[in-house]
Amino acid sequence: MTSLKKIDGIYHTPILAGGKKKWISTGATHKAEAEAVLEESGVDKLNVAAKANNLTQRAIGQILTGKNLTCEKALEKYQKLKAVSKSAKTVSNNVLVVGNWLAEAGLQTMPPSSVTVDHINRWINNPDLEWKRSTRLVALASVRSFFEFCGHQGWIVTDPSQLVELDYSAMTHEQKEGNEKQPFTEEELARLLKALRNDLKLAAVKKHELFQDASHILFWLVAVMVSKETGLRLSDVAQLEWRCFGEPGKLVVWTEKTNRRIEHIISRDIQNIIGDVPVIDPDYIFPEQRATIRNIAKRSLLSVQFSRLLDRVGIKGKSFHSIRHFKASSAFKNIKKEDLAKKLAETLSMAEIATLLGHSSTKTTKGYVHE
């Protein structure tokens, strides 16, 4: 017979829920009546079933892996194996998000097969979270990536994350709306490039307030110029190889995030400034910045440097990624000016710009285009 405990004059019985013991009221004030209620309700059988299910899930983990697989161990394997197929930054972000969630929910020592829809739903749709809609979507995508991996490894039979959707009633209007990323204007980029060129001239005669030597200023000058013409991400610019400029007037890059090969026709200005970069590594144009971007713990330092550059020239609310938005928007505007039917021109522009930016879908590209 299940144990009974009197709470505030009413007999309560324990039940197992999610691996934890919870006390529920029998509604009886007399023990004999409470025992009769328990016998009729079959709570004993429910508790046995709960224990059996927990044992079964752990047994599955042991059978499939040869040891007691926990979410924590599964996440370690995810980090190690996924690094082969995804970018280091993406894997690192996913591991951070999933790891924090597992710790908050107390799921680290549970097998992946024991995680339920409710475990995920309570976290991602927590009304007390200040996360915006976009942040919640990214977090949910991280969890789905983890469980997709577990499914491919055969550690789970069903994927609970696929049944979770955002509960918009749990978010405020501001959280739902978010802030649209704004592109640079032509004037802002001109102002930034002018400041960097002036800095480069002055670097030889006086100490720069942000950088130790002229090579750092040269990197940012190249980065802004290249991204303005091509829309390349900061991580891709930092890892440019000399071989990327092997053909005159052309830039060929394999992108880090999507592993896509993209080609760009580049201006004489970019070709000339690349020729001004001193060769200190046989393969990479900017080995110092490449080392920074490849270090998960340090790669944000480049974004911080760029933010400080923007502060110096009085540009607010932008990031390096805003140059990518500028490229997409300007390309869309230029293609629309072509002598084509309006509908056809818009269709062509999205497909062409998607190829230009290395996007796999025009749906992603549309988020970069600003009228």
- pLDDT tens, position by position, 214-231: 889 999 999 999 999 999
Same domain, 286 and 347: yes
**Mean pLDDT within 148-174:** 90
Contact 250, 265 (CB under 8 A): yes
**Per-residue confidence (pLDDT) for residue 61, from 0 to 100:** 52
- The answer, yes or no, to whether residue 341 has pLDDT greater than 50, is no
- Which of 21, 37, 65 is the last residue in one of the domains? 65
Share of the chain above pLDDT 70, in %: 82
- Which of 177, 194, 223 is the last residue in one of the domains? 177
- The answer, yes or no, to whether residue 213 has pLDDT greater than 80, is no
How many folded domains does the chain comprise? 3
Going edge to edge, which strands form the sheet with 10-17?
5-7, 10-17, 20-25
Q: What is the CATH number of the domain that holds 77?
A: 1.10.150
Same domain, 118 and 191: no
Instruction: Answer with the residue of higher pLDDT: 345 or 255.
Output: 255
Q: pLDDT band at 23, cuts 50/70/90?
A: confident
**Per-residue confidence (pLDDT) for residue 352, from 0 to 100:** 75
- Which of 15, 34, 65 is the last residue in one of the domains? 65
The residue segments making up the domain with residue 40 are 5-65
Residues near 193 by beta carbon (within 8 Å), at least 6 away in sequence: 221, 224, 225
Q: Which residues of 97-116 are buried (b: 16+ CB within 10 A; e: fewer)?
A: bbbebbeebebeebbbbbbe
**Per-residue confidence (pLDDT) for residue 359, from 0 to 100:** 79
Q: What is the CATH number of the domain that holds 202?
A: 1.10.443.10
DSSP letter for 241, please: B
Same domain, 144 and 199: no
Give the C-alpha separation, 330 to 341, whole Å: 19
Give the C-alpha separation, 102 to 119, whole Å: 9
- The answer, yes or no, to whether residue 339 has pLDDT greater than 50, is no
Same domain, 194 and 292: yes
Same domain, 230 and 199: yes
**Per-residue confidence (pLDDT) for residue 266, from 0 to 100:** 93
Q: pLDDT band at 344, cuts 50/70/90?
A: very low
**Mean pLDDT within 238-246:** 95
- The answer, yes or no, to whether residue 357 has pLDDT greater than 80, is no
**Per-residue confidence (pLDDT) for residue 101, from 0 to 100:** 95
Same domain, 288 and 218: yes
**Per-residue confidence (pLDDT) for residue 86, from 0 to 100:** 67
Residues near 29 by beta carbon (within 8 Å), at least 6 away in sequence: 9, 10, 11
**Mean pLDDT within 194-202:** 90
Give the C-alpha separation, 239 to 222, whole Å: 12
**Per-residue confidence (pLDDT) for residue 40, from 0 to 100:** 74
pLDDT in tens, 123-155: 999 998 888 898 899 999 999 999 999 998 888
* Range with lowest mean pLDDT among 40-44, 65-69, 101-105: 65-69
Same domain, 241 and 155: no
Same domain, 24 and 80: no
* Range with lowest mean pLDDT among 35-44, 76-85, 140-149, 313-322: 35-44
In a domain, 91, yes or no: yes
pLDDT in tens, 70-117: 999 999 999 988 766 667 778 888 999 999 999 999 999 999 989 999
Same domain, 297 and 346: yes
**Per-residue confidence (pLDDT) for residue 342, from 0 to 100:** 47
In a domain, 371, yes or no: no
**Mean pLDDT within 37-63:** 63
Averaging pLDDT over each range in 43-52, 109-118, 255-264, 333-342, which range is the top one? 109-118
**Per-residue confidence (pLDDT) for residue 329, from 0 to 100:** 85
Query: By C-alpha distance, which of 120, 129, 138 is closest to 170?
Result: 129
Q: pLDDT band at 340, cuts 50/70/90?
A: very low
Same domain, 168 and 220: no
- The answer, yes or no, to whether residue 208 has pLDDT greater than 60, is no
In a domain, 48, yes or no: yes
Instruction: Answer with the residue of higher pLDDT: 44 or 149.
Output: 149
Mean pLDDT of the chain: 83
For 299, the 3-state DSSP assignment is coil
- The answer, yes or no, to whether residue 234 has pLDDT greater than 80, is yes
In a domain, 36, yes or no: yes
